[in-house]
Amino acid sequence: MNLIKRFAVGSLAAALMLCTLFADSKKNVTLAKNIGELSWSKNVTIAAKNFEGAGEGSVISIDAQQTKADYHKFKAYSAGSANGGWKEIGSGGVSGANYSNSEFTLENKSSAITVRLTAQEAENLKKYGMVMHGFGVSIKKLELSSSQQKQNAKSEKSPGHAKSEKFPKNEKPTKQEKPAKHEAKQKNANLPFDLGNWKNFIVPAKDLHTSGDFCIRIDTKASSAEKNPSYYNIKLYDAKWQPISKGSIHSSKEFASLKQDLIVLTKAEGFVVYTPTEAERQAIRKSGLLIQGYGISVSDVKTVTVAELHAKSAPEPVIASKPVPSSKGTPPAKPKKPE
């Protein structure tokens, strides 16, 4: 009888452990769907319990669209603080919208916005929840991406938006902890990675050959997550969310072009080589590379030297271009996001 009890208790403990590991490894939490049009006079609130997995470097993804209003702005806050006031969110880094004076401004009809949280912002959200209001903006979806596991939540060495994606040198992750899809060694053992709808793919610096004047080659193919996408885009950052966009690309003009901070592809399958500036190379050496995109899957990522690039008679580099006057400041690289 005692043996049976021990077995039952042991089984229960194992089940609880598996549940905990599963919960810890969960990366995406849907905060809200179909919020609709924002107003300055009516606040949208997200309960604090939804931010339990938030930590420094976690990312809030906002699927937003412009309405027919004269302007398109919104603000996001933690709903309270120790002294009872609201605290703006956005100081940790924003992509997909113009962020200035604590306001998010939509520059395109549809925007996939990412907001990287600081440690203080994450702590406030976990305690008080989130508040949003604005004008001329409709919110389709809010999502929290948090791949932090409890045992790595306090690590200060991890790059990018998710601390659990880089492990200490002397510590091997368990099967449950290891986010294989976020690792891209020079041998590309864990590729392909489907970027789908602006997912993030981190390449740790240790997995890239970054000596000398290196360039980055990215091979792509069609996304299986996004069916019949209306456009194909790539965005590059270092793993601390600083844009990598001031260099040039080598590719046939029929396949890829560089428009401001976007690499715009005309089709899903092919490859593009990005030549960073020296400052960008230094940033990648320190923290690694982060790749975002839409409508494509990354099938290979590797570095080549400038000498190797020219030895292969690559096409002339395409330098980042400014929007044409008729675009009224809207990057031509971002057509309306498919419904």
User: Which CATH number covers residue 59?
Assistant: 2.60.120
How far apart are the C-alpha atoms of 194 and 222, rounded to whole Å?
8
Question: Quick check: 276 pLDDT over 90?
Answer: yes
**Residue 175 falls inside a structural domain:** no
Under the banding of pLDDT at 50, 70 and 90, the label for residue 311 is low
**Residues 113, 212 within the same domain:** no
Domain boundary among 145, 170, 200: 145
CA distances 205 to 126, 259, 287, 310, Å, are 31, 26, 6, 24
Q: What is the pLDDT of residue 84?
A: 53
**Residue 339 falls inside a structural domain:** no
Contact status, residue 238 vs residue 287, Cβ threshold 8 Å: yes
Query: How many domains would you assign to the chain?
Result: 2
**Residues 298, 210 within the same domain:** yes
**Residues 90, 193 within the same domain:** no
Question: Quick check: 15 pLDDT over 90?
Answer: no
- Give the rounded distance of the alpha carbon of 95 from its chain centre: 9
pLDDT single digits (tens) 238-267: 888 888 999 999 887 688 988 888 899 999
**Residues 196, 61 within the same domain:** no
**Residues 230, 289 within the same domain:** yes
**Residue 156 falls inside a structural domain:** no
Question: Quick check: 336 pLDDT over 50?
Answer: no
**Residues 125, 187 within the same domain:** no
**DSSP state for residue 192 in the 8-state scheme:** -
pLDDT single digits (tens) 69-110: 888 999 888 876 544 567 888 888 888 888 887 789 988 888
Mean pLDDT value across residues 52-62: 90
Q: Which domain holds residue 184?
A: 180-325
pLDDT single digits (tens) 125-168: 988 889 899 999 999 999 998 644 333 333 333 333 333 334 34
**Residues 192, 308 within the same domain:** yes
**Residue 13 falls inside a structural domain:** no
**Residues 199, 307 within the same domain:** yes
- 42-72: b (≥16 Cβ within 10 Å) or e: eebebebebbebbbbbbbbbbbbbbeeeeeb
**Residues 139, 186 within the same domain:** no
63 vs 313 pLDDT, higher one? 63
**Residues 103, 188 within the same domain:** no
Under the banding of pLDDT at 50, 70 and 90, the label for residue 198 is confident
**Residue 68 falls inside a structural domain:** yes
**Residues 98, 211 within the same domain:** no
Q: What is the pLDDT of residue 225?
A: 84
Mean pLDDT value across residues 312-326: 46
